[in-house]
Amino acid sequence: MKNRITFYLVAMFISVVITGLVTSCKSSKKTTVAQQGETELIIPCAGTGYMTDNEHLRANAIGESMDQMTSKKKALTEARAIMASELQTVVKTVTDNYVKSGEFDNKEELLERYESLTREVIKQELTGTKTICEKMTQTKGGNYKTYVAIELAGNELLSSLNNRLSKDEMLKIDYNYEKFKKTFEEEMNKLDD
């Protein structure tokens, strides 16, 4: 009798374990986007090939208008605004880290001067951005939609910053290109993570 009870308990335990395994296997199936009632969008000029990496700053945007050229201007303006914001963040971090890591007596004055010069360089460099993707579509309503992606090479930005910073008489005394370049490259590498 004792063996029968043990046998039934073991059998029940095994059936519970098997039921649990079968149930967990069924629930681990992945549902697709379509099964969730969603539609995946494929957006032109966007995605992994159009993202900022350690060598290029990139931005993409969409512009829509009843006029074809206006849709293009809107897209480019928005992409440049995004890039300007990204550039300001990178350059501010670089200048903050560069000035703070240096042994300069007038840190606050230097930092203000670096920031002022880098803002000028950013404005200048944005006009030199390169369009790496441009697609235009027309909506059902007849509007034009322009998709763009632009880029700016990090080495070109670094070169422009170096030219501008090394020409400034006040900064020339404390400016160390190799140290600035190292700080800049470290920040660009963080963008790729």
Please report whether residue 92 resides in a domain. yes
Please report whether residue 40 resides in a domain. no
Rounded to an integer, what distance in angstroms lies between the CA atom of residue 45 and that of residue 28?
34
Please report whether residue 121 resides in a domain. yes
Please report whether residue 180 resides in a domain. yes
What is the domain range of residue 163? 48-191
Please report whether residue 17 resides in a domain. no
pLDDT at 79: 92
Other residues' Cβ atoms within 10 Å of the Cβ of residue 61: 21
Rounded to an integer, what distance in angstroms lies between the CA atom of residue 59 and that of residue 73?
15
Other residues' Cβ atoms within 10 Å of the Cβ of residue 90: 21
Other residues' Cβ atoms within 10 Å of the Cβ of residue 18: 10
Rounded to an integer, what distance in angstroms lies between the CA atom of residue 91 and that of residue 123?
12
Please report whether residue 124 resides in a domain. yes
Q: Which two tokens mark 100?
A: 């703070």
* Helix (DSSP H) and strand (DSSP E) numbers for the chain: 6, 3
Q: Which two tokens mark 95?
A: 């200048």
Residue listed under structure tokens 């992945």: 30
Rounded to an integer, what distance in angstroms lies between the CA atom of residue 170 and that of residue 130?
33
- What's the whole-model pTM score? 0.65
Domain tally for the chain?
A: 1
Rounded to an integer, what distance in angstroms lies between the CA atom of residue 59 and that of residue 51?
7
Q: Are 108 and 121 a contacting pair, CB within 8 Å?
A: no
Please report whether residue 133 resides in a domain. yes
Q: Return the sign of the alpha-carbon dihedral for residues 162, 166, 170, 173.
A: positive
Helix, strand, coil % in the chain, rounded to nearest 5: 60, 15, 25
Contacts of 71 (CB under 8 A, 6+ apart): 63, 64, 65, 136, 143, 144, 145, 146
Please report whether residue 88 resides in a domain. yes
Phi and psi, residue 58, nearest 5°: -135, 155
Per-residue confidence of the chain (193 residues) as pLDDT tens digits? 555 555 555 555 565 556 655 555 554 567 776 777 788 888 899 988 898 888 888 899 999 999 999 999 999 999 988 888 887 777 777 776 666 665 555 556 666 666 666 667 776 666 678 999 999 999 999 999 999 999 988 777 777 777 776 666 655 555 666 777 777 777 777 766 5
